[in-house]
Amino acid sequence: MGTMSCVSDSSRLNKFLRERYLNLPQGEFCQVTYVWIAYCGMDLCYKTRTMDFTPKTIADIPEWDTIGQTEGFSTEMPLAPACMFRDPFLLDPNKLVFCEVLKNTREPAESNHRNSCNKIMEKIKELHPWFGMEQEYTLLGVDGHPFGWPRLGFPKPQGTYYRCVGADRAFGRDIVECHYKACLYAGIKISGTNPEVMPSQWEFQVGPCEGIEMGDHLWMVRFLLHRVCEDFGVVATLDPKPMTGDWDGAGCHINVSTVQMRAEGGIEHINKAIEKLRKRHAEHIRVYDPNGGEDNKRRLIGCQVFSSINDFSPGVANRGASIRIPYRVAQNKCGYFEDRRPAANCDPYAVTCAMARTCMLEGEEELK
């Protein structure tokens, strides 16, 4: 045991016995699991209720409530259903429902960035904004030590792990592949996955998603990731710099386009958007992690494949830049651009909202 990763006690329970119960018929009933963002803005919560019919649309799902913090007091807060997915753990006909958290005045809770994001997306819907986000994460044992790393010391230096194969290089592939399948079953727009530069670090991509759908799908993919990791007895962290020293951090790059950027000659609109982003570099940095840019200070250090947090640096096919224009986009003179600054633990609603405000709205709107 001295050389093995520390996994949870729950993961060692008899899973065959568990399946006996999960395979029992449930009649006409449907288990609906409500998922929402905790009041801290980073964690996810859930609870499950029984419905006596199978909901077909989100309109069939009633509101519920949770206990939350508002203005320093514990209070009941409504959970407003926003989007629905198939449940890959309890299987059909059971559902997962992502919810907005509201105050009892019906105003959005402090952690609810979906509400304001949705209003902005409605204003720019004629532009058909497409987003794709690349979520990096790191697998840990329950003791906080990277999964698969030696208990004492470190693995071999970076350089052989990126998009690798092999038992001495890819740590936790079973988790990654099970998560991928769970997302496809749920109906989430996951578009790919790969091992990352640091051992035990992985990435999945979600999109293209239009408008508010980006945040909805990414938050639910994160829920599925934590839930799959729970089954395997490990932890997935979105910490932007989980290991100090010469080990890569973790980001959540965002790819952005509008119908104008995707059309012939769209590079002109891409360049205009990048210049708008240049003027608001500091404002975006404050939005790109949940702690006002403090988390990204540990990651955006101007070396490895990370730009400096203090510099704005666009470039073609340059993965060390703040903003990357892919090589094929530069050649075709249309397509999309990639903002590489968002941290792994960013709120996708806050990031896509900031992107829309800066690049797609005609009037100047202050970022929040």
Query: H helices of the chain, where?
Result: 15-22, 114-123, 173-186, 213-232, 259-262, 267-279, 281-287, 294-297, 327-332, 348-359
Which amino acid, 223?
Answer: F
Cα–chain-centroid distance for residue 118? 17
pLDDT at 304 (0 to 100): 56
Residue 306, pLDDT score: 66
Pick the CATH number of 121-366 from 2.70.98.40, 3.40.50.1820, 1.10.10.10, 3.30.590.10: 3.30.590.10
301-320, pLDDT tens digit by residue?
Answer: 866 556 789 889 999 988 77
Q: What is the pLDDT of residue 353?
A: 98
Q: How far apart are CA 343 and CA 321, in angstroms?
A: 15
Structure tokens at 184: 């496809």
User: Would you state the structure tokens that stand for residue 53, as one six-digit string?
Assistant: 């019919």
Cβ atoms within 10 A of the Cβ of 3, count? 7
Residue identified by tokens 């979105």 is 238
What the block records as the tokens of 61 is 């799902």
Q: What is the pLDDT of residue 330?
A: 97
pLDDT computed for residue 1 by the predictor? 43
Q: How confident is the model at residue 36, as a pLDDT?
A: 98
158's CB contacts (< 8 A; 6+ apart) are 197, 198, 199, 246, 247, 248
Q: What residue segments make up the domains of the chain, in order of their start?
A: 9-111, 121-366
Report angle CA 314, 345, 288 to the nearest 5 degrees. 40
Digit-coded pLDDT (tens) for 219-251:
999 999 999 999 999 999 999 999 988 888 999
Instruction: Point out the residues of the chain with pLDDT beneath 70.
Output: 1-3, 69-73, 302-306, 363-368
> Tokens at residue 181, please?
């399948």
Tokens 């649309």, residue located:
57
305-311 contacts, C-beta under 8 A, 24 or more apart: 305/197, 305/248, 306/248, 306/249, 306/251, 306/340, 307/340, 307/341, 309/285
Instruction: Please report where in the chains the tokens 């891409």 appear, as a residue.
Output: 270
Assign a CATH topology to domain 9-111: Ubiquitin-like (UB roll) (3.10.20)
